[in-house]
A and B are shown apart, each in its own frame.
Chain A
Amino acid sequence: MARGFVSEGRRFLRDPALLGAVVILWLLLALFVLYPLFELLVRAFSDEGKFTAQPLLDGIADPSNRAAFVNSLILATAVGVMGTLLGFLFALTATRAGLGRRWLTLLDATALLPLVSPPFTTSIAIIFSFGPKGFISHHLLGFDNVSAYGFWSTALAETLTYFPIGYLTLRPILAAIDPNLEEMAFSLGGSRWRIFRTVTVPLCVPGFANTFLLLFAASLADFATPLILAGNSFAVLPTQAFLQITGMFDFKGGAVLSLMLLVPAAAVFLLQRYWVGRRVYVTVTGKVGQRSRTRAMAPGASVGLVVACALVAIVIVYFYALLVYASFVVAFGANETFTWRHYGVIFTEGLPAIRDTLIIALVGMPLGGFYGVLVGYLLARRRFPGRRAMEIVTIINYALPGTIVGIAYLMAFNDPPIALTGGMLIIVACYVFRYSPTGIRATVALLQQIDRSLEEASSSLGAGSGETFRRVTLPLIVPAFFAGLGVVFIRSMTAISATIFLVSISWTLITVRILENMTELALGPAAAFSVFVIVVVFAVVWGLSAVLARFRAPTAGAAARSLLGG
């Protein structure tokens, strides 16, 4: 690799800071992105040291694997469609229904709740609300013998968990549509419905496509929800891969299932990034935050929208209220006496998990933030050989479903020479390289709006690239730095799909404890842990937003949004 760089221009070589940064980054990327993926491919394609596609072909030929593959696609499509609709509903209400600032804040808070929560919260709530003796299905609606397991409950839980991504994507697009367009159509005599149909919706089409693909990818990668809710007649790939490896110790089978998952995930990612993603970018640019007038919406329609949103918001709030309730009663459903016991449990027996998670999150946070800013800066501002390749490689772990990343890490780092399993570093590295692309994107977006001449002035006054970066660029991209920090922190507190493979005796995670608690009938501690995570994450998000608000850079808002959208 180094030889390739040498052949490039002298300027690159004369800039030791740039050269050093690029070389170090490539080494890190090779170790934590390319090597694990390579190990996974080797495992899937080799048999006693020889290359063979047989395991993969066998895997594809296995009818239960094929069923899981099809199920995954069906589920992802359903979640994509329903989540896009729900996100659009919320975005439309936020931008067109003429809500006051306070109501908007409330709407935002409910919509964001699912995004910053541990992954099982919705699943737990659904089981207790919609099971055969569920609170809603049985006590409220009187149904008997409803199953809480299967396609619909999984799709519903994932939709409620991921629709905020749709909301965050569509809201700026709707806000950016020039109100004059709608107004012109109105004054030309079009009905409001007709305008909505022929002006507003068509302008959102790239946004819809983008949202659909993001939700599709999120569902494809989701492992926790199906594990709890899918039951046994609706198997999906990430869960199958997990059971194959942890239950059957079939690394090869797990690798094969992961590869089957890789194909649609990669396809969706490339589609989103190189086709839809660009179009949306052009539509949004420079218009973020502008609010249209409320005239384009009939009063009746506004009320309808608000009511629909309120209903969804009530369901979400109800789910979380149930969780809080379960954390405060002795035994949910049997002995509903108030108790602090479960919080006692998580702060005594659960304390190592809390401590480990916080340490991991706090170590990963600055590393992830700095890494994101550095890579973003290099990609947006510097020319060096292999820049494009670096952009793609930095995004691999983000685009891959967590199950694949976790399995690949487990395979790559279990045995010497690079034995990292059992330590903290492997979990931190997993989070940093998986969740920093949000920080990278935020940095790139921010830098595109800052005039290059500032940095050129610094260079021409004799500062080296390191000094220019530190004293000129870095202060300008502080908002992106905090966005990167925030995402890594949030995901370190809430993610499970990759890191469930990486926990060990010395380093465990709250999310893994929650899953354990749930599978061993300790619902109280599981609920208490979840409430704790939500409170901490909300506090940190609030703190970071307050910091971001101080930097009144033009894209601070975008950075804040990407804080949650990643």
Chain B
Amino acid sequence: MKLLRFLAIAAIGWMSGLAAAQAADPVNVYSIWPENYARPMFEEFEKATGIKVNFIRFSSGEALARVIAEKNNPRIDVLFGGPVETFAAGIKEGIFAPYKSPSFDKLPARFKHADGQWTAIADDPLVFMTNAAFLKSKGLQAPASWDDLLNPAYKNQLQMADARTSGTAVTRIFSVLEVNKRDEEKSFAYLKKLRQNVQVYTKSGGGGTLPVGLGQAGGGIFFIVDALETKAKGYDVVISFPKEGIGSSAEAIALIKGAKNPEGGKKLIDFATSAAMQSKLAAHKVNFVPANPDVKTEASLAAVLKDAKVFPIDDEYAGANRKRIVDRWIKEVLGSQ
């Protein structure tokens, strides 16, 4: 028994020691941006302010679920990155504390919540990405219309994200709604037809990029940042845009209500919404479109987007209808064969 007591005391002592050691002043963050995009930004922040960022990466749905679950006892200060639909859904749960950074006034209306519940740090259009060898073997051009993706040649060849966990998927579904003038019946008829060609819906937005790069899948719908990353890794993929237009989602940041380190959190938001961070995106090969008007879109990224018809997703409409539309998608699209 002495041994047990000794072990218990030793374990408790050790753990409380750890807790004390962590009581410095770092900012705690859930990042929806993948680690390879978020980490360099946080390192720049630490360089600029001396404040360390502790973070863990979750898909947007997972991150949102966590923050809501932790509402009574928040574990983080800032929710970083991720499409604004996610943040719009979060507002309804009352998980954010309004905060307006110095850059707030500069930003166009679609890049900020009127009360400062969230602020955009980047813009991220969706794209069609196809495997070049696949297109060649089927004698296809890169898809240039939403209907091109319904071609039977793509049967069982598309990968895209699952709306239960991924904000990419939600942006995609709302793109279809916008293209169809918010006619839900028409949109869902399209989504159900598209389902026939989908090999698998992936847990995260970028989940299908590697399979498309490898030719395990023929193509899919992804955020431009993930598509360009795939290309940069050396995979032979083609990026194209539908002529009807495709949605773009602002990537946002927000302060958590009840944050344990609100001052640090605000500093991170100041940094992320300013040119200080967004001018570093290109240097770290993170291909988001900057939201801050002081930062020019990097030339090669601008070239890709030159002729694309890209429209913003209306965050009020999306936020108000997200849950209902996703539920309907699960019931009518995901489950159907």
A interface residue numbers (CB < 8 A to B): 17, 20-21, 24, 64, 127-128, 131-134, 145, 147-149, 227, 231-233, 243-249, 251, 330-335, 349, 363, 366-367, 370, 374, 410, 414-416, 419, 421-425, 466, 470, 503-506, 508, 516, 518-523
Contacts and interface: CB of A to CB of B under 8 A. Distances in A.
Contact of A232 (B18, B64, B334): B334
Nearest to B56: A505
B49 interface: no
B59 A519 contact: yes
Contacts of A470: 3
Contact of A330 (B30, B35, B68, B234): B234
Nearest to A134: B216
Contacts of A416: 72-73
Contacts of A147: 156, 199
B144 interface: no
B11 A367 contact: yes
B234 A335 contact: yes
Interface of B: 1-4, 7, 11, 14-15, 18, 22, 28-30, 34-36, 39, 54-57, 59, 61-62, 64-66, 68-70, 72-73, 75-76, 155-157, 162, 164-165, 198-204, 206-207, 209-211, 213-218, 226, 229-230, 233-236, 326, 331, 334-335, 337
B228 to A, nearest CB: 12
B11 A17 contact: no
Contact of B215 (A133, A227, A367): A133
Contact of A247 (B155, B165, B206): B165
Contacts of B216: 127-128, 131-134, 148
A198 B156 CA distance: 48
Nearest to B66: A246
Contact of B70 (A246, A414, A506): A414
B226 A521 contact: yes
A505 B55 contact: yes
Contacts of A332: 214
Contacts of A24: 4
Nearest to B201: A232
Nearest to B67: A249
8 contacts: A247-B65, A247-B165, A331-B233, A334-B214, A334-B236, A414-B70, A503-B56, A518-B207
Contacts of B200: 149, 231-232
Contacts of A247: 59, 61-62, 65, 162, 164-165
Contacts of A132: 156-157, 199, 215-218
A414 B73 contact: yes
A278 to B, nearest CB: 32
B35 A520 contact: yes
A149 B65 contact: no
A271 B204 CA distance: 39
Contacts of A505: 28-30, 54-56, 75-76
A280 B207 CA distance: 45
A149 B199 contact: yes
B239 to A, nearest CB: 15
Contact of B234 (A134, A334, A422, A504): A334
A520 B56 contact: no
A353 B162 CA distance: 26
A334 B235 CA distance: 5
A231 B235 CA distance: 24
B1 A421 contact: no
Contact of B54 (A17, A244, A503, A506): A506
Contact of A334 (B18, B164, B233): B233
Nearest to A333: B214
B234 A331 contact: yes
Contacts of A20: 1
Nearest to B53: A505
B109 to A, nearest CB: 29
B131 to A, nearest CB: 9
Contact of B202 (A334, A425, A506, A519): A519
A532 B66 CA distance: 29
Contacts of A145: 155-157
Contacts of A419: 73
A335 B84 CA distance: 35
A276 B167 CA distance: 48
Given A132-B215, A370-B7, A521-B206, A422 B75 contact: yes
Given A232-B334, A419-B73, A505-B54, A520 B207 contact: yes
A367 B214 contact: no
Contacts of A246: 59, 61-62, 65-66, 165
A406 to B, nearest CB: 13
A431 to B, nearest CB: 14
A349 B61 contact: no
A335 B230 CA distance: 12
A245 B229 contact: no
Given A149-B199, A370-B4, A506-B54, A334 B213 contact: yes
A120 to B, nearest CB: 12
Given A334-B214, A414-B69, A424 B15 contact: yes
Counting chain B CB atoms within 10 Å of each CB, which of A244, A466, A506 scores highest? A506
Contacts of B18: 424
Nearest to A353: B56
B207 A521 contact: yes
A363 B156 CA distance: 47
Contact of A520 (B1, B11, B15, B204): B204
Contacts of B206: 519-521
